[in-house]
Amino acid sequence: MQCNINAKGKAVRLLSGLGFLLAGALTFVFGGLEGVPAIIGSCLLLGGGFMAFEGWSGWCVVRAMGFKTPV
């Protein structure tokens, strides 16, 4: 995979991925209180993990498909 995003895009994807991972972990810890199903937490963890991977590797799947992202 060739790097297709710049340093600003990497930082945005990495930080938002870490935020999603944190939200997913908190959903599993406190999910019973609000009635949030575990599938939401799983999706947050999977999405956050993938966004963190994109930020770490410098490769964005949306840009690889030919779309221009603003960041």
Q: Does some domain include residue 71? A: no
Question: What domain range includes position 15?
Answer: 8-64
Q: Does some domain include residue 1? A: no
Angle between helices 7-34 and 38-57 (to 10 degrees): 170
C-alpha 64, offset from chain centre: 16
Q: Does some domain include residue 2? A: no
Q: Does some domain include residue 41? A: yes
- Count up the domains in the chain and report the number: 1
Rounded to a whole number, what is the distance in angstroms from the first to the last CA of the chain?
19
pLDDT number for residue 32? 65
What is the tens place of the pLDDT at every residue in 5-51?
999 999 999 999 999 999 999 988 887 666 778 888 899 999 999 99
pTM for the model: 0.86
